[in-house]
Structure 1
Amino acid sequence: MRFSIILVEPARAENIGAAARAMKTMGFNDLRIVNSEAHLQPQARWVAHGSGDILDRVAVFPTLEAALADIDFTIATTARSRGRFHYYATAAELVPLLEEKRQWVGGAALVFGREDSGLTNDELALADVLTGVPMVADYPSMNLGQAVMVYCYQLSALMQGDAPQEPAADVQQLQALRRRVDNLLTALAITDDHKLSDWLQQRLGVLGQRDTVMLHRLLHDIEKKLTE
């Protein structure tokens, strides 16, 4: 499973350098940046200190949606209070979730928001799972570089363990399942029920491979009945 770290509109070059250093230290190498060129500033390379190869390979995208185009499973960092209907996991809880996913998902990404305002609601809606770091503070805040280090450290076992078998040929079955659910809601004329639609879409990401396959079978049977 490919694993990407995505920074959305980072403003400070030093934070990008710190993120690159954390990634290199813990075995990650795919850094993507949305709508920012701060990584080109010399301060980023100064702080990266030996992780310049990460900065050299940075891919820049105009939007988060574009950065996620080849990603099958997305985790977004945020505060718990903004979770709405999303499944929420701590950094530690992500480990078993990703251990299962890497057997059949082609690409996963961990998304960090802006230093001052985080991710927008529309950007959070692109995620399968939300996550955050519990903190004991009157004003919960963590430097972007520190946050990347916390997650890279927590998830480093995924990069350092034995390489899993190549994902199955149907690695896009989760995305296909999302499309089938959308099509079913349209066929049933209940697309205006946004609460139900949100709940369904935001629960699909935590399904294991067996549950995903079984739900595909169920949807197939429903689709067949609707066309009879």
Structure 2
Amino acid sequence: MLQNIRVVLVGTTHPGNIGGAARAMKNMGLTRLVLVEPRVFPSPEADARASGADDILASTQVVASLEEALTGCSLVLGTSARDRSLPWPMLNPRESGVKVVEQAAQGLEVALVFGREHAGLTNDELQRCHFHVHIASNPDFSSLNLAAAVQVLSYEVRTAWLAGQVPVNAQASNQPARESELATMDEMEGFYAHLEQTLVAIGFLDPEKPRHLMARLRRLYGRSEVERPELSILRGILTETQKAARGEPHKRKDQ
């Protein structure tokens, strides 16, 4: 089950933090590390800080964008150190551990996303996450080392897993079984791009004055756990809406 969980580090500046994160992950049984545009990797400093987690560094995936890092994920949690202009569903570390294990136990791909050492994740990056996670550190000294943040959330994942707070297999769950698989983040990103194009085409969205519209829609659909057949319906509606906006005749599905 833990193999379904990936740790994603975005724009890491110091290679030592990559090694420290790998060590923290291995301590807690997590093995999948993904780096988005690290400044330096591979690096002897990362190797030194890994202190025996060389196997995780050896299998680390390096990608060019957060979108690529989240391919296949049905649940994404992003760490946030401060309040944002647009409120987002928020979890504390203990809640996040339970949520991650609950989803991973159902065979779903899950990502824990951590931002840059100096600035964290951008608003756009955080809007690609279903939930934000805030570590309640000392307000008088709230700066938390990246590897330490990875350690905190990895520990909570392991705690939830060991405590058996969720079933190891989804068939034992008290929750009703899903009819279909959840749409993945890359599939949802395609939908959001399609939705934005359609809203612009019908004049509902002014790209010069977006006023957080797409961010609010991301938040809406992100908490809805959209299944793949449902996403196909939504994409079909958008396609027909675009045709109508261009004045093209509508063709019924049964014709």
Asked if structure 2 preserves the Cα contact closer than 8 Å seen for 1:17 and 1:39, the reply is no
The answer for the alignment partner of 2:217 in structure 1 is: 200
In the TM superposition, what whole-angstrom CA distance separates every residue of 1:146-193 from its partner, at most 9, and x where no partner exists?
Answer: 111011001114555564259979434365677667767737753446
Shift of residue 48 of structure 1?
1.2
Asked if structure 2 preserves the Cα contact closer than 8 Å seen for 1:26 and 1:156, the reply is yes
Please tell me the residue identity of whatever aligns with 2:36.
Answer: V
CA distance in 2, matches of 1:168, 1:37: 41
In the TM superposition, what whole-angstrom CA distance separates every residue of 1:125-165 from its partner, at most 9, and x where no partner exists?
Answer: 22121111112233421011111101100111455556425
Q: 1:73 to 1:197 in 2, by over 3 A?
A: same
SS at structure 2 position matched to 1:32: strand
CA distance in 2, matches of 1:133, 1:122: 20
User: Using CA pairs below 8 Å that are at least 6 residues apart, which structure has the higher relative contact order?
Assistant: 1
CA distance in 2, matches of 1:183, 1:48: 42
Shift of residue 90 of structure 1?
1.1
CA distance in 2, matches of 1:52, 1:169: 40
Judging by fraction of residues, say which structure has more helix: 1
The answer for the alignment partner of 1:24 in structure 2 is: 26
Which of the residues 134, 154, 171 maps onto 2:181? Answer: 171
CA distance in 1, matches of 2:74, 2:160: 17
In the TM superposition, what whole-angstrom CA distance separates every residue of 1:72-121 from its partner, at most 9, and x where no partner exists?
Answer: 22111112312623211111121333344335562111111111111222
Asked if structure 2 preserves the Cα contact closer than 8 Å seen for 1:27 and 1:159, the reply is no
1:108-147 maps to which residues of 2 (within 5 A)? 108-147=110-149
Asked if structure 1 preserves the Cα contact closer than 8 Å seen for 2:5 and 2:104, the reply is no
Moved more, 182-191 or 65-74: 182-191
Q: TM-score, normalised by structure 2?
A: 0.71
Structure 2 unaligned segments of length 5 or more: list them: 172-176, 242-249
The answer for the alignment partner of 1:42 in structure 2 is: 44
CA distance in 2, matches of 1:200, 1:79: 23
The answer for the alignment partner of 2:174 in structure 1 is: none
Q: 1:202 to 1:14 in 2, by over 3 A?
A: same
Q: 1:191 to 1:106 in 2, by over 3 A?
A: farther
Please tell me the residue identity of whatever aligns with 2:204.
Answer: I
CA distance in 2, matches of 1:148, 1:38: 19
Structure 1 unaligned segments of length 5 or more: list them: none
Instruction: Say how many residue pairs are matched.
Output: 222
SS at structure 1 position matched to 2:35: strand
Shift of residue 58 of structure 1?
0.6
Asked if structure 1 preserves the Cα contact closer than 8 Å seen for 2:74 and 2:184, the reply is yes
SS at structure 2 position matched to 1:79: coil
Asked if structure 2 preserves the Cα contact closer than 8 Å seen for 1:85 and 1:199, the reply is no
Asked if structure 2 preserves the Cα contact closer than 8 Å seen for 1:87 and 1:129, the reply is yes
Please tell me the residue identity of whatever aligns with 1:164.
Answer: N
Asked if structure 2 preserves the Cα contact closer than 8 Å seen for 1:102 and 1:164, the reply is no
The answer for the alignment partner of 1:61 in structure 2 is: 63
Query: Which structure has the larger Rg?
Result: 2
Q: TM-score, normalised by structure 1?
A: 0.79
Identity of aligned residues (%): 29
The answer for the alignment partner of 2:99 in structure 1 is: 97
CA distance in 1, matches of 2:184, 2:12: 29
Shift of residue 205 of structure 1?
3.0
